[in-house]
Structure 1
Amino acid sequence: MMSLSPSTFETIVPSRYVTFILPDSHHLHIAVLDSPASSAAGAFTAAMWIPPGRESDWIFSTFSGHLQLLLSSPTTEPLSRLILVGNSPSHPQPTSYNSTLHPSYSTALQQNLAPLLSALTPKSAFLGDGERPEVPLLSYEDEVVKSSVLEVCQGPCVGEMLIENVELENDGFKEFRRRLRFKRMPNFVQSQIRIRPKDESCLENLDTMEFELDKGVLVQPYLSPMVAGISVISQFLEGQLWDGFRPKALCLGVGGGALLGFLRAYLDFEVVGVEEDEVVLEVAKRYFGLGSDELIHLFAEDGFKYVKKLAKIESETSRFHVVMVDLDSNDPTMGVCAPPKEFLRKSVLLAARAVLHEEGVLIINAIPSSKLYYERLISKFQDAFEELYEIDVGNGENFVLIATKSKTENALDSNEGAFLSKLKLTVSRSYIDSIRKIPKNVDPAFDK
């Protein structure tokens, strides 16, 4: 146990992270994080109980996981300090988890910790009469009922990553998925795919169950809207459908490869996937069923450099009808944010425009860290491209932006043809119908 002065937690120190074991308390582990944006003016503090059995999960046992929990807290005002309370982690890495085997914390134990939480509250949060404010107790809830870790491996670019099978339950509906997570952003699922048990009669032990992949459904919330964005150029693609024509897509960011496989299998695209980390590509092949054939080409390169290199080739064969960008920031202080700020450089945006076919479209997953960041994103894209469209994914987090190289006329109002009909069979029609054009100098729908 580390030695702490009683005055250690009296003030907010931006980004300070302190962990310790509470003596005489059944080895409870305490972690205290002050927000990077904290100031003397704000000292709102909250505590969170770590679900028993998940103490080793990167979400709860790392600085970056703690930071994401703080930044995504559902509290009415921004948190200055978040206190995590849980059992001491018994393993250095996430392990298999079964919620039914772990009882919740008792109310009595929570009440016993009230003095500790009060002592960990900064002085500036005290009320005018000197009374200590009550520290709200937050609970972490997700749909995960069980998890089984398949592998933890190290990539030269993304660092440590984890592949796991999970059992989810939502309103009584049970579903199984395979997920890929990075330790640097542990509360963010990088890729996931639906999996089906081979033996429906034996569903008790997730560790021993055998699964088959279900590639026909895009379960990552923003992937179906990204595919729906292709409808903006459906009129052009419809006019090109003759024998031998095959549209081409460039995907920057591969992850588990669900998007690449879907474009190849269900929309008959030739697909080029670029992923900076070769280990991620190996994981996609080994665990997520991503193949490399005559219609799927994979490259382990930096996506920005690849696009700039491709932009210098003056050949129509090196142009794409669709460029999909699914890249997130690797800066944990920004929380979950996409695309990375490096993508907004003028040289990168112009290179992305250059690799597009004249009638092509750039489709990007956006997770803005703030309204200001999103407005900046909109402005950058409108400067580099002819038209800009938007889909609000509806989860309060993701937006899909669709930028065109040339005017699309009234493609969204055009008569439905074979390609658009096929598209509406593969993704929800509601996403296609919700596409809206963002006029220049008009606020996007970030907070509408």
Structure 2
Amino acid sequence: MALDVRIFETISPSRFISFTIPNPISPLQLLRVAVLDSPLHSTLSSPRVAVTLVPKHREADWIFSTESGHLQLLLNLPDISRLILIGDDPDGGTDFPAVYHRPIPEDSNDSERLELRVKPLVVALSPKTLTRDEIDDVPFLIYEDDVVSSVELEKSVGPFVGEMVIEDVEIEIDDGVREFRRRLRFKRMPNLVQSEIKIVTRSTDSSNSKSLPSLTRTEFTPDLTELVHPYLAPMVASLSLIGSSHMDKSRPKALCIGVGGGGLLSFLRLHLGFEVTGVEIDPEVLRVARHHFGLEESFAHVHVEDGIEFLKRFSSTCDGENTKFDALMVDLDSTDPIHGVSAPPVDFVARDVLLAARAVLVHSGVFVINVIPPNKTFYQELKDEFRQVFADLYEIDVGNGENFVLIATAAPRDRKNNSFTRENLTPDVLVKYIDAIQKI
């Protein structure tokens, strides 16, 4: 049945429609067109439209081929009411490999030609309230990230997180400087990298090569000596606020809720000597962490359980300081993509959960949590809730425009009498974030 373009004359919040048309440049191939109206723009008198041409060879990536990925792209454009994605059809007979290489600049000519040829389509898909000048000014956006090349290692399905992909990527971390990393992404929020670690070649011979190894022809192994996920180093730096009473024990203890790839757990055990307990709700995520991200069973004892239920259960049974933790570290994101990327889940900062969190900490302990606030009001209310339960509250601005690390102490803290010093928390990147800790 033919698609009636009149349905696009008005903005309908959260409406998502995708269809295919012949490619005007290569008629034997199909283009996939996907149209999503913002869930936030229902009454705007002057809606705005934008178009994104899907990067070549990334058409099957969940970022561009799923409604949830499309939604995340749209929510990053707060002034846009309708986002149109146009790219080759991943189900149209073209072989889309699980290997991606960033196109060379010469390939941009195809994008320019396609942009000119689909202009009439954009007109047809624009709300009727747009003037001719507004339609002519509809921007064609270019999606860019740091990925130079990638190769898919495995796709898996967890009973709680759903579909996930594990991939090795070559990224550009600075102009001309590249690095290999392993990433875990969930289909429900494909633009969010859930876990990321550095990987190195298995062979030491390649270190003498003047050229970088190939992702598809090289065996890699996890490098657990660095924390490359942007907020993990600040979370570890927060341990400098642990009080000195833990020194009476042979080994400090950390409870980590949200395992992901396990990079934080491995670092705490291998480099800071913590006795680590983890809590992960999805057993498949734990398998992936052990199989692909270097998390060994000897590094941490992991409970497959809901984090809130574990906290409440443990808080009611722990008896005495020796059974409690010096640090509680929480890294959980919201599972609701319609509100964009945010952390932690609202349920986790309910009063009874925060009271349970304080109860599992020793007197000198700290509660460290990764926060991605969806708005200023959410963040202020979150801090107010923490102040009602904990003695002191500190903050680290990660500096990426997205993450903050909140540190709450079970008892008032004298920062001159903490057990983890600059000498304990190396390398220098951790020291940088120690200096960034602010009492709020």
TM over 0.5: yes
Question: Are the structure 2 counterparts of residues 125 and 372 from structure 1 closer, same or farther at C-alpha, using a change threshold of 3 Å?
Answer: farther
1:19-34 → structure 2 map (5 Å cutoff): 19-23=18-22, 25=24, 26=26, 27-34=30-37
1:44-443 → structure 2 map (5 Å cutoff): 44-73=48-77, 77-90=78-91, 95-100=98-103, 103-104=107-108, 105-126=110-131, 132=135, 134-169=137-172, 170-199=174-203, 200=206, 201=209, 203=212, 205-233=214-242, 236-237=243-244, 239-242=245-248, 245-293=250-298, 296-316=300-320, 317-409=322-414, 411=415, 414=416, 419-425=421-427, 427-438=429-440
* 1:442 paired residue number: none
What displacement does 1:93 show? 9.0
Compute the RMSD of aligned alpha carbons: 2.1
What displacement does 1:377 show? 1.1
What displacement does 1:47 show? 0.8
Query: Structure 2: which 5+ residue stretches go unaligned?
Result: none
What displacement does 1:158 show? 0.6
Question: Aligned equivalents of 1:320 and 1:406: distance in 2?
Answer: 14
Question: Aligned equivalents of 1:400 and 1:196: distance in 2?
Answer: 29
The answer on whether the counterparts of 1:256 and 1:283 sit within 8 Å (CA) in structure 2 is yes
Question: Aligned equivalents of 1:324 and 1:93: distance in 2?
Answer: 40
Question: Aligned equivalents of 1:392 and 1:383: distance in 2?
Answer: 22
Q: Deviation per CA, 1:247-299, whole angstroms, max 9, x where unpaired?
A: 10000000010000101111111000100000111110111110112x52111
* 1:37 paired residue number: 40
* 1:441 paired residue number: none
Q: Secondary structure at the match of 2:7?
A: coil
TM-score normalised over the length of structure 1: 0.90
Question: Aligned equivalents of 2:130 and 2:21: distance in 1?
Answer: 23
Of 149-158 and 428-437, more deviation after overlay is shown by 428-437
Of 367-376 and 88-97, more deviation after overlay is shown by 88-97
What displacement does 1:322 show? 0.3
Question: Are the structure 2 counterparts of residues 50 and 79 from structure 1 closer, same or farther at C-alpha, using a change threshold of 3 Å?
Answer: same
The answer on whether the counterparts of 2:241 and 2:420 sit within 8 Å (CA) in structure 1 is no
Q: Secondary structure at the match of 2:5?
A: coil
Of 390-399 and 311-320, more deviation after overlay is shown by 311-320
What displacement does 1:226 show? 0.4
Question: Aligned equivalents of 1:224 and 1:429: distance in 2?
Answer: 9
Query: Structure 1: which 5+ residue stretches go unaligned?
Result: 439-448
Question: Aligned equivalents of 2:420 and 2:363: distance in 1?
Answer: 22
The answer on whether the counterparts of 1:179 and 1:189 sit within 8 Å (CA) in structure 2 is yes
Whichever residue aligns with residue 257 of structure 1, its letter is G
What displacement does 1:78 show? 2.1
Question: Aligned equivalents of 1:415 and 1:362: distance in 2?
Answer: 18
What displacement does 1:3 show? 2.2
Question: Are the structure 2 counterparts of residues 47 and 303 from structure 1 closer, same or farther at C-alpha, using a change threshold of 3 Å?
Answer: same
Question: Aligned equivalents of 2:259 and 2:316: distance in 1?
Answer: 23
What displacement does 1:108 show? 2.4
Identity over aligned residues, as a percent?
50
